[in-house]
Structure 1
Amino acid sequence: MTMLALKRTGESGPPLVFVHGYLGGAGLWEEQLQAFSDGFRCLAPNLAGFGDSAGMLAPDTIEGHARHVLDTLTEAGVDTFHLLGHSMGGMVVQQMAAMAPERIERLVLYGTGPVGMLPDRFEAIDVSRQRLKTEGLQATAARIAATWFEIGERAERYPICLAEGAKATMQAALASLSAWETWDGSDNLAAFPMPTLVIWGDGDRSYGWSQPERLWRTIPNCRLAVVPGCAHIVHMEKPEIFNAIVRDFLAG
């Protein structure tokens, strides 16, 4: 199996893995890769069909993405690690936690939930699929990325999202929507053994409160951080606050 492209920073400390979401890429974590490199060996995979892994065929299941990430970490010599996933990447890391719980020291579920159908999303999955086909990938990626910020296209880091979204393939964009529709990780949550943190922006238009609330109330050893004045992409809207929350949690 071809391994996913990885961004890496840091030379010492425990491994810390960042998994991006839909129409994203490892480049969305640039500030975190630098901020955490003083005490962690940071790794950010590009999911198949996205970012620097755009040349790879994307799986149409969340399980397929999870296996790809696990295999890539194994190939990189990373056995156990802290794990953080955002949005669709949050689904992927939940699946990783169900498949290989012994490998994960601490888990951060950020801007995500346990149900792939996204009942509170700004638009239905079928609408996104149709608009991809009629409006094209770039227009759809730009429109969706604007919903990630409280102030939309005026956000300072919005162009970074455009640049990463432009690397994705249409195959990956469509396959990922199918992956959401068939995925439900709810039954796995109560068995998660690792300390877990849920992070959510109170203006998130992709995952309504019912999704992070279910994670927080179901996972046994779980903490919750709600960041006010943010939408879906807290780590780019208020990076200093996001980084402080994650660092405090990882410190144990």
Structure 2
Amino acid sequence: MQHEYADWQDLPVQKVRIHGYERAFVMTGSGPALLLIHGIGMNHRTWLPVIGQLSKNFTVIAPDLLGHGESDKPRADYSIAGYANAMRDLLLFLDIPSVTVVGHSLGGGVAMQFTYQFPQMVERLVLVSTGGLGRSVNPLIRAMTIPGSGPILALCSLQRIRRIVIPGLERLAATGIPGSHDIHDMIEVYEDMADAHSRAAFRQVLRAGADWRGQFVTMIDRAYLARYIPTMVVWGGRDLVIPVKHAYAAKELLPQARLEVFTNAGHVPHEDYPDRFAAALTEFIMDSPEAQYDHTAFQQVLRAGDRPRRKRVPRPREAKQATEERTTTN
């Protein structure tokens, strides 16, 4: 679907220079701080459908990660840990001591890493169709990590090629056939690839967390450290990028987590159902007291360790049945 941003299209983009690079972000509202981290190839605009409602109760900060949107796109550190450091630095620059951190896709991996590296700054954790919970990822994503894929991506990004490909993708999306649900979001990412700097940054980010076999950066071995943090997991039941079975894996790893599966949503549930997403997020924050970081307790848990039990990941049909049982159909 085409996403309408209404008046929030004109939300002013602010920029600050940190470590020599310009970092773009939008910031609005008042109240407890809410950090929204977008996914790969996207930018702060993915959150525009929900910022209006969220800013009624919260101070919303939505940055463009380095290499994305209006932030600089240098040859630099695009690792998950590097992005977590950047979020810490931005919040310190803005004099914001702690936040509820919300991450979508790649941003979910950044949110988890931020929680791991800076637990004293995290009040709550919200994971939206997040990476880092298993190997599975769309085959197209895996293909773009293969050596030699760079020139192919550059060729596909030529204007004369895009003039052919984009209308074809739009027609396919209009059919509504299975597999077409997330195409409009893919088109937005594809259009950004016309810029060589964006394209180079995209591949650097991608290869920092995945290869031809799938995702290799994971938080599974450290998830037990976040069990004291109020957590919500949101997923689209028709996600074609990272399958919904990862939502149930997250619930197993983080038993305290609130699970919300939007049955008919794709990889970007906050764009597909913005009102429902904003309401669910607001309710979760209002119902969940912020985490209180205790250094001694954290140290004791770390020393004790807690290897998570390996559980069988449900097959797609089982995951679909579980989705229907645990959620209401939109």
Q: TM > 0.5 between the two?
A: yes
Map of 1:5 onto structure 2: 24
Alignment of 1:162-177 (within 5 A): 169-177=198-206
Separation (CA, whole Å) in 2 of partners of 1:73 and 1:3: 15
Q: Secondary structure at the match of 1:240?
A: helix
Separation (CA, whole Å) in 2 of partners of 1:93 and 1:149: 28
Map of 1:215 onto structure 2: 250
Separation (CA, whole Å) in 2 of partners of 1:32 and 1:72: 22
Map of 2:140 onto structure 1: 123
1:198 and 1:244, CA in 2 relative to 1: closer, same or farther beyond 3 A? Answer: same
Q: What letter matches 1:191 in structure 2?
A: L
**Structure 1: gaps spanning 5 or more residues:** none
Map of 1:100 onto structure 2: 118
**1:189 alignment partner, one of 195, 199, 223:** 223
Q: How many residues align?
A: 245
Separation (CA, whole Å) in 2 of partners of 1:58 and 1:247: 35
Separation (CA, whole Å) in 1 of partners of 2:259 and 2:91: 27
Deviations, residues 210-242 of structure 1 (Å, cap 9, x unaligned):
322221111142110000111101111111111
Deviations, residues 122-177 of structure 1 (Å, cap 9, x unaligned):
4352345555531337479977xx79972634xxx887666766676122111111
1:13 and 1:177, CA in 2 relative to 1: closer, same or farther beyond 3 A? Answer: same
Would you say the 8 A contact 1:203–1:229 is kept in 2? yes
**1:203 alignment partner, one of 234, 238, 242:** 238
TM-score (norm 2): 0.66
**2:183 alignment partner, one of 115, 130, 152:** 152
Separation (CA, whole Å) in 1 of partners of 2:280 and 2:111: 19
Question: How far 1:56 sits from its partner (Å)?
Answer: 4.0
Separation (CA, whole Å) in 1 of partners of 2:140 and 2:23: 30
Map of 2:4 onto structure 1: none
Q: What letter matches 1:185 in structure 2?
A: M
**Structure 2: gaps spanning 5 or more residues:** 1-18, 211-215, 288-330
Identity of aligned residues (%): 25
Q: Rg larger in 1 or in 2?
A: 2
Would you say the 8 A contact 2:237–2:265 is kept in 1? yes
Separation (CA, whole Å) in 2 of partners of 1:148 and 1:103: 39
